[in-house]
């Protein structure tokens, strides 16, 4: 009975819309008209074979996911190891690096837009900082790395806390035994720490994969998908198809199903592979 209210909300706002979207993906519904026809797999075929913008957004999303998963987890793990190795100031360091994760994504992103559009040009006026005088958000060759910078800054805090919790859970007698046996720090990391925090790696990579594939607000606030769709992710392409330009709700639903299947397959593979590498202490 205690779970029932949450279950009703879950079914009403997630399960039912997902099932409706799955049905509409096989129709040509525009999202407004009561009348629509069943078109079978035409929407899926068009999205995969004929929609160049959708394919471009998939490639950009894949690039973003790869960089986000690797760098967010690597930096978060490095920070967790560094902070846990300190004898003093752990609380302050933990708070400082976790603070960006406490901010709203939209608010923090607008802060970064101000930095890139106002602060950087002001700093570039000084002769020593001329290298800052670039189009951080308007240059297709630079905007991706700008997005990654903001993504890493805002995403590592939560992952760092998970890694720190896993490191703190490693039994002390294993560390002491390794030290007595003459293990060096890199041996401790390779043979003790990493195997025993494999469950945290599984969780953090799973979270990063899901969040990266579904990213929208961060990129929308930074670049709006521009310049010239150069930073448009799948979620932005779907929203544009359904509500902003073409009003092809059925076609957009088909794209959403494709995105769902991509996330499902990749996360299932990731979890199944990494679960086999986990070690019980």
Q: What is the pLDDT along the chain (281 residues), one digit of tens a residue?
A: 899 999 999 999 999 999 999 999 999 998 888 889 999 999 999 999 999 999 999 999 999 999 999 999 999 999 999 998 887 888 898 999 999 988 888 889 999 999 998 888 888 877 667 778 888 998 888 999 999 999 999 999 999 999 999 999 988 888 888 888 888 888 888 888 888 899 999 999 999 999 999 999 999 999 988 888 899 999 999 999 888 777 899 999 999 999 999 999 999 999 898 888 776 54
Task: Determine the 3-state secondary structure of 27 from DSSP.
Answer: strand
Nearest in space to 216 (alpha carbons), one of 235, 231, 237: 235
pLDDT, residue 179, reads 83
Q: Say yes or no: domain 16-275 is CATH 1.20.1090.10.
A: no
Q: Give the per-residue pLDDT at 59.
A: 95
Output the pLDDT for position 281. Answer: 47
What residue spans define the domains of the chain?
Answer: 16-275
Is the separation of the CB atoms in 192 and 183 below 8 Å? Answer: yes
73/162 Cα distance (integer angstroms): 11
Q: Mention every residue, 6+ apart, whose C-beta is less than 8 A from residue 31.
A: 242, 243, 247, 248, 249
Which two structure tokens, joined as six digits, stand for 38? 């069943």
What's the pLDDT score for residue 132? 80
pTM: 0.91
* Dist. CA 66–CA 212, nearest whole Å: 9
The per-residue pLDDT for 119 is 87
């Amino acid at each position: 009975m205690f779970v029932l209210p949450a279950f009703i909300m879950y079914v009403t706002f997630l399960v039912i819309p997902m099932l409706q979207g799955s049905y509409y993906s096989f129709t040509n519904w525009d999202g407004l008209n009561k009348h629509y026809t069943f078109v079978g797999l035409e929407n899926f075929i068009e999205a995969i074979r004929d929609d160049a913008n959708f394919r471009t957004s998939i490639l950009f999303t894949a690039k973003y996911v790869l960089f986000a998963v690797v760098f967010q987890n690597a930096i978060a793990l490095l920070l967790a190891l560094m902070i846990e190795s300190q004898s003093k100031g752990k609380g302050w360091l933990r708070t400082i690096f976790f603070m960006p994760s406490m901010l709203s994504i939209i608010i923090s992103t607008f802060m970064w837009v101000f930095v890139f559009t106002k602060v950087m040009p002001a700093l570039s006026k000084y002769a020593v900082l001329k290298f800052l005088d670039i189009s951080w958000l308007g240059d297709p060759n630079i905007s991706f790395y700008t997005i990654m910078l903001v993504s890493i800054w805002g995403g590592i805090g939560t992952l760092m806390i998970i890694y720190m919790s896993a490191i703190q859970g490693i039994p002390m007698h294993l560390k002491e035994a390794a030290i007595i046996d003459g293990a060096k720090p890199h041996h401790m990391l390779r043979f003790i720490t990493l195997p025993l925090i494999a469950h945290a790696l599984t969780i953090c990579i799973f979270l990063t994969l899901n969040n990266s594939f579904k990213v929208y607000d961060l990129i929308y606030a930074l670049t709006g998908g521009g310049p010239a769709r150069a930073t448009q992710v799948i979620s932005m392409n779907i929203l544009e198809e359904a509500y902003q330009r073409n009003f092809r709700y059925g076609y957009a639903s088909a794209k959403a199903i494709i995105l769902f299947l991509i996330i499902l397959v990749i996360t299932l593979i990731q979890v199944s592979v990494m679960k086999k590498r986990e070690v019980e202490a």
